[in-house]
Amino acid sequence: MGRRTAVVLMNLGGPDSLKAVRPFLFRLFSDPAILNLPWPARLPLAALISSLRTRSAQANYAHMGGASPLLAESRAQSAALEAALIEQGAETKVFLAMRYWRPFTETVAAEVSAWSPDDVVLLPLYPQYSTTTTASSLKAWERAYRGPGEVKTVCCYPEQHGLIEAHVRRIRQCWEAAGRPENVRLLLSAHGVPQSCIDAGDPYQEQVERTCAAIVDRLKWPWDWRICYQSRVGPLKWLGPSTPEAISEACKDGMGVLIDPVAFVSEHVETLVELDRDYAVLAKAAGCEVYLRAAAVGTDRAFIGGLTQLVLSALGRRGVAPGSEPCRGQWSGCALQVVGRAA
């Protein structure tokens, strides 16, 4: 009988009803990875921010049918990955652990423990590592899990072949479905983080740039392209240029735009509302004649194949390791610097 492998896919999570929006936001802003303040100050501020943002957030989730689609999308990815691993002959069960809403990390940790695995592979659904996403999810798992099994962690995979192939395919499909319009600038849009995170040693920007370079190298896009960052909030300086700025620049240059959500593997509020509604309105107002958006990689067979290879590779080692080349910069926030290199 072979070794039993539990694969834990990790993601942000999203409210499953309009009533869940406020507690979801509170959990999000209570995380020290999001608000880096001592807890006596962080919790009241989290309560205030979640209260102030509930109404507008509820309106956005109502636009998507009253709930985030992230859970359903992540479950589909989990099912596809489990089927692919079983086809490879592995005795595997894939679990889904969300950071800020159900199924919570603590609940899933108990389920994995009860399954009694020999190996546990932690696989965040964040291809590019950040202290605000992957690191927070991994720390939550470390606090929660007390069960059996040798834990192996895939900390990041910004240039994993299957991920890149899936992005290239989605971009081509979008462009071809629109009739192959000309003079279109490709905007590779990632979720932004405050510049202070990068200055403090977060490798996220480097990894986003590596993903984008790999996509463009394989795609052979006939026009120019830009990296940009979306979802900026608050008064802090964030990574730039922002996606709205990049859209406005393309319009001024007389070009259309095709946006690829380069750091998102599932459809959720940042794609279905921010990109498809808010930024589309901005582009129209700026006179942009072509506004296209590639679908998230979802259950694209290349992406699921890439995740499968990441799991199988992780089983052959110990500890924490990237699924593609390690960071080129010496980032103090890198998982290999914080947790230690894989044995």
State pLDDT tens for residues 25-45.
Answer: 999 999 999 988 888 899 999
Most confident of 88-92, 177-181, 235-239: 177-181
Q: What is the mean pLDDT of residues 224-233?
A: 94
Chain position carrying tokens 């593997």: 265
Q: What is the DSSP string of 70-117?
A: HHHHHHHHHHHHHHHHHHTT-EEEEEEEESSSSSBHHHHHHHHHHH--
**The pLDDT of residue 182 is above 90:** yes
* Domains, the chain: 21-63 (no CATH), 161-293 (3.40.50.1400)
Taking the C-alpha atoms of residue 325 and residue 306, their distance in angstroms, rounded to an integer, is 14
Q: Express as a percent the part of the chain with pLDDT over 90.
A: 91
**The pLDDT of residue 336 is above 60:** yes
**242 DSSP assignment:** B
State the pLDDT confidence band at 100, using cuts at 50, 70 and 90. Answer: very high
The pTM assigned to this predicted structure is 0.95
CA distances 124 to 7, 13, 236, 280, 290, Å, are: 10, 12, 27, 30, 34
Bridge partners (DSSP) of residue 91 are 4
How many Cβ atoms are within 10 Å of 150's Cβ, its own excluded?
14
Q: What pLDDT was estimated at residue 144?
A: 97
**H or E, element range at 172:** helix 161-177
Joined together, the tokens standing for residue 89 give: 């002959």
**The pLDDT of residue 322 is above 70:** yes
First CA to last CA across the chain, in angstroms? 26
Q: What pLDDT was estimated at residue 339?
A: 56
Q: What pLDDT was estimated at residue 176?
A: 98
Span 253-262, pLDDT tens digits: 999 999 999 9
pLDDT averaged over the chain?
95
